[in-house]
Amino acid sequence: MQELKSTKHLIEIANRSNRLQFSPLEVKELFAFLEKQSEFQVPSGTLSIAFLKDQEHTRIHQEYMDNSSSTDVITFPGDPDMGLSGEICVSVDFAEKSAQFHKKSFDEEITLYLLHGWLHLSGFDDRGEAASKKMSQIQNKVFSRIQNARLVPKFHLKEGNE
């Protein structure tokens, strides 16, 4: 696990996918940028990021959300009194398939998942059609800011199975 300190958060990154390669510093820079977006504040403290294989991600989805389907990102709120901002769990395999399906870069897909988790931790909800539409619009707006600032981290998948 790698730890990186940003202004308000200690970013802990766990990469449990043998295939995923990235610069932890670029991920930290992304979250430092998100911290500066005053309308989307996440409680101060430790922010855990976990990049997971789909099997482990789906197990967590079943265990904590009572849903056995594969999904993109799962977010757990933290406990500010204990110095915990929250946790963002990303399915690397889901991102790979989704990027191909949506004809997006893998970098953009993973970054969208990280942003989506950040928005959940800042209080946005995507349950229900209206809430989902609102969150999607905000996500697209902030993602454009990330792209314009050239802060989409580079994520790479090594060839082969895990």
CATH number at residue 75: 3.40.390.30
pLDDT at 1: 60
Tell me if 162 is assigned to some domain: no
What pLDDT band is residue 12 in, cutting at 50, 70 and 90? very high
Structural domains counted in the chain: 1
Domain assignment present for residue 43? The answer is yes
- Is 126 marked as a binding-site residue? yes
> Is position 94 within any domain?
yes
Domain housing 121: 2-157
**Which stretch of DSSP H or E encloses residue 143?**
helix 129-148
- Is 120 marked as a binding-site residue? yes
pLDDT, tens digit (0-9, with 9 covering 90-100), for 39-59: 888 988 999 999 999 999 989
What's the rounded mean pLDDT across residues 5-9? 67
Residue 62 CA to chain centroid, in angstroms? 19
Instruction: Classify 21 as helix, strand or coil.
Output: strand
pLDDT at 148 over 60: yes
Taking every pair of C-alpha atoms in the chain, what is the biggest distance, in angstroms?
43
